[in-house]
Amino acid sequence: MLHAAVVQAEVAHDLASGLEQTAALTADAVRRGARLVVFPETWLPGYPIWLDVCRDVALWNSPDVKRVFTTYAENSIDVDGASGRALSEIAATHGVTLVVGVTERVTAGPGRGTLYNSLLTYGPDGALLNRHRKLMPTYTERIVWGQGDATGLRAVETPGARVGGLICWEHWMPLSRQALHESGEDIHVAVWPTVHEMHQVASRHYAFEGRCFVLAAGSLMRGSALPATLTPHPDRVPYPEAWVMRGGSAIYGPDGACLAGPVYDAALTLHAELDLTRVRAESMTLDVAGHYARPDCFNFRVTR
């Protein structure tokens, strides 16, 4: 059995507060028995939902939008710098596998200054086990993030389980899913800004298709937390305390059954005991990387 936890909370948009919040929430999950703790897509420094709910973003050359972007970039994670080390220390301090979505900033070398939507996996000793950069930012996201590659498109060994993950709409890229299936996941981390109905469908389908546990993680955010210099669309943010990200975190079993959640509009940490023997048991009827793969008919290769 492996005790897993999915954190759902309101995001803190400045990096220092976000790291403190991450440490506190991780500590709380570990006190309740968690050995694997998961945070949502771009938990640090928060998903840029202003791309979708503020009308100023259409004016991409606006000084106000540029200032918001600059602040967002300044509060992003330097994986190889102090903020990355802070995440490593959180994992090591609590002896826990930590999977956290971040906006990553390249600080040196080719691509310096580029931002990526990344999913980081730290082992209980603080080692960075995997860094997956989102392959395809979607729609307005392309204003903010660069395109990732397949270097981190894999599951990795952690104590007790092989853990992999995808970010948001990568769950609708069939070949991304197959790459993870073939890397042998026991547990799949599905991170989203907010896990609305179709994201629930994708997460649950992934569990059934991959015959693995799926931890679907979403954030919370109110309209009042949007950048003060941008103007919300009144139909998207009718009043300041309206939810613009509603959470929806859930945990699914390898048969697609829901084990916890989904929970909306509330800050909490979902917990579940994952019986990893069920991964093998459910693979009897479907194993898309094994006895159901038909390699004599299909050839699949990932370019890393």
Exposed, middle or buried: residue 159 (CB in 10 Å: 0-12, 13-18, 19+)? middle
Classify 195 as helix, strand or coil: coil
Backbone phi and psi for residue 32, each to the nearest 5 degrees, phi listed first:
-90, 5
Q: What strand order describes the sheet that includes 115-122?
A: 128-133, 115-122, 97-105, 36-38, 2-8, 268-274
CA 207/CA 196 separation, integer angstroms: 17
Bridge partners (DSSP) of residue 119 are: 101, 132
Please identify which residue in the block is written with the tokens 């660069």.
Answer: 146
Tokens representing residue 246 in the block: 């509603």
Find out whether 185 and 163 touch, Cβ atoms under 8 Å.
yes
CA 223/CA 225 separation, integer angstroms: 5
Please identify which residue in the block is written with the tokens 């968690």.
Answer: 34
Exposed, middle or buried: residue 276 (CB in 10 Å: 0-12, 13-18, 19+)? middle
CA 6/CA 249 separation, integer angstroms: 7
Nearest by Cα to 254 from 237, 270, 274? 274
- Respond yes or no on whether the N-terminal peptide bond of residue 227 is cis (omega within 30° of 0): no
Quick count: other Cβ atoms within 10 Å of Cβ 266? 11
Active-site residue set:
41, 134, 168
